[in-house]
């Protein structure tokens, strides 16, 4: 049966920064949920972001008057009632500092139980599984300037996910992509060793979005190798994915990489997207590529039309995998899609049909250990673990989703009675020692 929990904020955090729970996005407020993963013991980790703008908030000393850019990690125990067993507040500075500044963070739980937060540009923050402290920060200078010397630092990855066997599938940024002087994800890489607080393992690049970004100092990629060569990134994996899928004469430059996910130990799903346009991007290029661990393109996830199934409407770019059962899922404003490991479309649940129109209010965060989908109701800040069939997905996906949505609707009133909320923004009071400001 589906199970629903609120994604709540600690009262102490709300009080410290005088967070107005009635604020709207037009007031300079963002509260969004980014990802969810499970640890080795079955605990669920959820990453959310809270952003609050205040005029002159960067200089203010009073927390109530400060602009806030916080990434929130909640650990929900496997046998819990929805109350987080631990909660970490990870503040990212609005100005670059020695600790590093990252945007667009993502969540990964490592095989040893530690938690990794990764973001642009190749910033990796390693947290202990109890969410009590930052074990290590691997960061780099985010921008190049002709006025000063470039400081490499010790970056690692912009994105990473653990494979079933414990390897790390990573996205690594490079300068010069799209003729830009900033870092942007370009390389897909693997590591066969563990990432720890003591050691940053070497990476082996298996594919690249672009095989020829603007020339750069080889030292900037000194921990990455390619094709058995010594580290230094000469040569890069070629041909580039963008050039292979969309030759320049048929498309405009400016493609980008989404978040790759492992489907098995040697098979991955790599999302690629086209350039975003102010006037709307629906109908533009996109592809969910199947790739093996040597970087060979095996095909694409089938059955999606560039217009009728566009992920650009609403910015629905997430693809999730269920490695134990060899399945892939994607949810956007037009449907919920399920594929087999070879890319065959098994089922599509259209969001134009009742009761599935409710899916337009949800985002897909991940898959659970039993194959259930982790969906978040974005406006109501409710996460539902929705079971789907292990077998017979072709006929069984739509009925399972309908049943799960009905259960969600019945559980929601009970949650409102049990929890404190203002405008669907939930709060709770953690037990002593369970809230940590990192």
Buried b (16+ CB within 10 A) or exposed e, 347-372: bbbebeeeebebbbebbbbbbbeebb
DSSP annotation of 307 reads T
DSSP annotation of 150 reads -
**Alpha-carbon separation of residue 434 from 73, 141, 341 (angstroms):** 12, 33, 40
CA atoms within 13 A on the CB side of 100: 27
Q: What pLDDT does residue 220 have?
A: 46
Q: Tell me the two tokens of residue 346.
A: 């098994």
Distance CA 331, CA 363 (A): 7
Q: What pLDDT does residue 89 have?
A: 95
Q: What pLDDT does residue 57 have?
A: 81
pLDDT in tens, the chain (438 residues): 899 999 999 999 999 999 999 988 878 888 999 999 999 999 999 999 998 888 888 888 899 898 888 999 999 999 888 899 999 999 876 544 333 445 689 999 999 999 999 988 888 999 999 999 999 999 876 555 555 555 667 889 999 999 999 999 999 988 766 666 667 888 999 999 999 999 999 899 999 888 776 555 544 466 787 776 665 555 678 888 888 887 765 555 678 899 999 999 999 999 998 877 766 778 788 899 999 999 999 999 999 999 999 998 988 999 999 999 999 999 999 999 999 999 999 999 999 999 999 999 999 999 999 999 999 999 999 999 999 999 889 999 999 999 999 999 999 999 999 999 999 999 999 999 999 998
Distance CA 125, CA 352 (A): 41
Which sign, positive or negative, has the C-alpha torsion 36, 37, 43, 45?
Answer: negative
Which backbone phi and psi does 207 adopt, to 5 degrees? -160, 160
Q: What pLDDT does residue 212 have?
A: 74
Q: What pLDDT does residue 97 have?
A: 39
Q: What pLDDT does residue 142 have?
A: 59
């Amino acid at each position: 049966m589906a199970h629903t929990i609120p994604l709540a904020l600690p009262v102490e955090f709300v009080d410290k920064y005088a967070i107005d729970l009635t604020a709207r996005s037009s007031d300079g407020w963002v509260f969004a949920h980014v990802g969810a993963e499970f640890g080795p013991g079955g605990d669920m980790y959820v990453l959310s972001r809270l952003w609050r703008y205040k005029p002159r908030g960067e200089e203010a000393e009073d927390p109530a008057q400060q602009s806030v850019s916080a990434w929130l990690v909640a650990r929900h125990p496997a046998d819990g009632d929805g109350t987080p067993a631990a909660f970490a507040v990870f503040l990212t500075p609005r100005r670059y500092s020695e600790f590093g500044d990252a945007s667009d963070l993502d969540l990964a739980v490592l095989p040893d139980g530690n938690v990794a937060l990764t973001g642009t540009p190749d910033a990796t923050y390693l947290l202990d599984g109890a969410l009590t402290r930052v074990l290590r920060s691997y960061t780099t200078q985010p921008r190049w300037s002709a006025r000063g010397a470039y400081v490499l630092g010790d970056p690692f990855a912009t994105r990473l996910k653990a494979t079933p066997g414990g390897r790390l599938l990573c996205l690594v940024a490079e300068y010069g992509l799209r003729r830009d002087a900033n870092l942007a994800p370009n390389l897909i890489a693997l590591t066969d060793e563990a990432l720890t607080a003591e050691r940053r393992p070497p990476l082996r690049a298996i594919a690249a979005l672009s095989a020829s970004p603007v020339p750069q100092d080889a030292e900037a990629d000194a921990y990455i190798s390619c094709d058995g060569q010594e580290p230094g990134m000469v040569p890069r994996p070629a041909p580039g994915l963008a050039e292979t899928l969309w030759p320049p004469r048929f498309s405009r430059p400016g493609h980008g990489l989404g978040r790759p996910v492992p489907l098995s130990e040697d098979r991955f799903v790599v999302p690629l997207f086209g350039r975003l346009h102010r006037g709307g991007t629906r109908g533009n290029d996109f592809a969910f590529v199947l790739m093996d661990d040597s970087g060979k393109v095996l095909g694409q996830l089938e059955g999606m039309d560039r217009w009728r199934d566009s992920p650009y409407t609403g910015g629905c770019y997430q693809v999730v995998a269920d490695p134990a059962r060899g399945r892939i899922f994607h949810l956007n404003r037009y449907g919920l899609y399920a594929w087999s490991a070879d890319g065959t479309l098994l089922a599509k649940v259209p969001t134009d049909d009742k009761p599935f129109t409710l899916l337009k209010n949800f985002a897909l965060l991940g898959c659970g250990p039993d194959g259930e989908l982790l969906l978040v109701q974005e406006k109501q800040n409710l996460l539902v673990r929705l079971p789907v069939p292990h077998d017979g997905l072709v006929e069984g996906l739509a009925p399972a989703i309908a049943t799960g949505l009905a259960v969600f609707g019945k559980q929601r009133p009970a949650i409102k009675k049990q929890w404190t909320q203002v405008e669907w923004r939930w709060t709770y009071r953690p037990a002593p020692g369970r809230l940590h400001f990192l």
